[in-house]
Amino acid sequence: MPKDHDKDVYPEPPSRTPVVDRQSVLPNPALILSKLFYYSVDLPVTTFRDIVEGIQSGKKSHYYHQKFRRVPELTRCQEGDYVCYYEAEMQWRRDYKVDQEIVKVIQERLRACQQREGPSYRQNCYKELQQFEEVSKAFQSRYGDLGAYASARKCLMKQKERMMAEQQTA
């Protein structure tokens, strides 16, 4: 600032931070409660968990995908065995979801190759294109035209009808 400035208009900033005047001598109750919770609950629980994890560190359990055993298909169920029907239906639904994900992964690979190669993707992505056509054709032949309420029984009937049509043409 210039030497001839008006001190009333532009006062100089304070050289030190002012000390806050406390209204009370008592400490903040929220601070006391948070420290009480930390030392009485959080610290002992965390310490105990660390000790247990240290003991179990040799036996680490890995959480990946749930593995289901394969159950018999609907054709292998005895008549009136509703538990077998249910298990076969759940197995079919898992297989359906897995097949959907396989088609999605192959489709993403094809799209990535198309993006990378540009207009000449038909020549450079021939392998991915063939693989996608195979997978989508197989998916369509198995699950196509089943409708919104697809089930293992409907899929089995579709397969049966397709086999009968093939026998008639042969």
pLDDT tens for the chain, 170 residues long, are 556 666 776 667 666 766 666 677 777 888 899 999 999 999 999 999 888 888 877 666 666 677 778 888 888 999 999 999 999 999 999 999 999 999 999 999 999 999 998 888 889 999 999 999 999 999 999 998 888 888 999 999 998 998 999 999 87
Q: Does 147 fall in a domain? A: yes
Q: Does 152 fall in a domain? A: yes
- What is the residue range of 89's domain? 74-163
Question: What domain count does the chain have?
Answer: 1
Are 107 and 131 contacting, i.e. CB atoms less than 8 angstroms apart?
no
Q: Looking at residue 4, what DSSP letter applies?
A: T
- Assign 21 to helix, strand or coil: coil
Q: How far apart are CA 98 and CA 44, in angstroms?
A: 44
Q: Does 78 fall in a domain? A: yes
Q: Does 55 fall in a domain? A: no
Half-sphere exposure in the Cβ direction for 110 (13 Å, CA): 19
